[in-house]
Amino acid sequence: MKLGIIIPCYNEEEGLKETSNHLQTLLMQMIKSGKIAANSFICYVDDGSTDRTWQIIESFSKQSDLFKGIKLSRNFGHQNALISGLMQLKSDADALISMDADLQDDVQLINEFVAKFKEGYEVIYGVREDRSKDTHFKRISAEFFYRFQTYMGIDTVSNHADYRLLSSKALQTLSEFKEINPFLRGIVPLMGYRSCSLHYSRAERFAGETKYSLTKMLFFALDGVVSFSVKPLRLITLTGFLISFLSLLVIFWVVFEKIFLGTTVDGWASMMISIYLIGGIQLMSIGIIGEYIGRIFQQSKGRPRYIIDKEI
Ligand code: UDP
Ligand code: MG
């Protein structure tokens, strides 16, 4: 079988050399033992890096036929960079594995990916078993992220990021998903197909810093929810009903007090509370609805998800 590995890179000059060495050694072994075809490849996608990432990728491709490169015209974000690689090379291999540039995902797992693929699996997920090497903050935020998604009714594989194998059939199906904020972890399980998970423990980032800032991470989480679930809209409706019902009780109480007790001057506190509370809920609700409308707006323009500058 012909295997391709897709690696999105954003300012990864510090770690790229090491990553390439590891992968090259592994792929050479696999080619030698006949597990994969001799024209298997590694393709880096430079997601508009501002450092020497692209020059490094170019030098690799000059040294060996094993390496390919795609340069995007600017930074499009991790998911788009990944999609560009997958879509560009989907018919060039029997299966593509996506992974990060930082060696946090266990490279040795590729052997098992290939073995499972040969058993006939179309989608194979790499699942992080042990996150003890991650930072405390990353662990907690990730935990929260997966719980929140499950709560929102989104079917994802817990602790699976973007280390996965997709067969060319699955990739063909993936190309039919035209959404503008692609959230691959949600889309891939949606496709169905025969799938399985492989477990590994996540290592520390080999070099450099995480390229996911807190804001990037928050927006990523928001994307994951808003592009896969209308549950936030339902929650708004539910809140609306609840408040309307409570208001009904309050109306009865107010009328009762006015007619039978005549003590209706007090009540500043309850009034202030309801003004602020209802105001807050309304703003939040408009915001949530706005998120969905914003997505309709972006989708309706149908702009390309990525723009390729160069390919080598
Ligand atoms: N990445 C990218 N574009 C971006 C941000 C990140 O292509 O805008 C790449 C990055 O180079 C890395 C992968 O996506 O190969 C995952 O990023 P990172 O390792 O920083 O995320 P973390 O593992 O900390 O979640
Ligand atoms: Mg990483």
Q: Is 210 in the pocket of ligand 1 (CB under 6 A)?
A: yes
Phi, psi of 311 (to 5 degrees): -135, 135
When mean pLDDT is compared across 14-18, 153-157, 185-189, the lowest value belongs to 153-157
State both tokens at 35: 């597990």
Q: Is the pLDDT of residue 52 over 80?
A: yes
* Sheet strands (E) in 23-159: 41-46, 67-72, 95-98, 123-130
102 touches 207 (CB < 8 A) = yes
State both tokens at 178: 């035209």
State both tokens at 215: 């804001």
Residue type, 28: M
User: What average pLDDT score do residues 24-30 get?
Assistant: 93
Q: Is the pLDDT of residue 105 over 90?
A: no
User: What average pLDDT score do residues 94-114 get?
Assistant: 92
Q: Is 182 in the pocket of ligand 1 (CB under 6 A)?
A: no
User: What average pLDDT score do residues 216-243 get?
Assistant: 85
Q: Is the pLDDT of residue 257 over 90?
A: no
Ligand 1 pocket mutation pick from 211, 216, 305 by most atoms within 8 angstroms of CB: 211
Burial class (CB in 10 A: 0-12, 13-18, 19+), 277: exposed
pLDDT digits 0-9 by tens, 174-225: 999 988 888 898 899 989 899 999 998 887 777 778 777 888 888 888 888 8
Distance of CA 34 to the CA centre of its chain: 33
User: What average pLDDT score do residues 257-266 get?
Assistant: 77
161 touches 128 (CB < 8 A) = yes
State both tokens at 57: 């990728």
Given this model, what pLDDT does residue 130 score? 74
Residue nearest to atom 2 of ligand 1 (CA): 78
User: What average pLDDT score do residues 142-165 get?
Assistant: 85
Q: Is 162 in the pocket of ligand 1 (CB under 6 A)?
A: no
Q: Is the pLDDT of residue 150 over 90?
A: no
pTM (2 d.p.): 0.83
**Dist. CA 236 → ligand 1 center (Å):** 34
Q: Is the pLDDT of residue 251 over 90?
A: no
Given this model, what pLDDT does residue 232 score? 87
Percentage of the chain lying above the pLDDT 70 cut: 99
Given this model, what pLDDT does residue 182 score? 85
User: What average pLDDT score do residues 267-274 get?
Assistant: 78
Residue type, 43: C
Q: What is the mean pLDDT of the chain?
A: 88
User: What average pLDDT score do residues 253-276 get?
Assistant: 79
Q: Is 101 in the pocket of ligand 1 (CB under 6 A)?
A: yes
User: What average pLDDT score do residues 251-255 get?
Assistant: 84
Given this model, what pLDDT does residue 50 score? 94
Given this model, what pLDDT does residue 81 score? 95
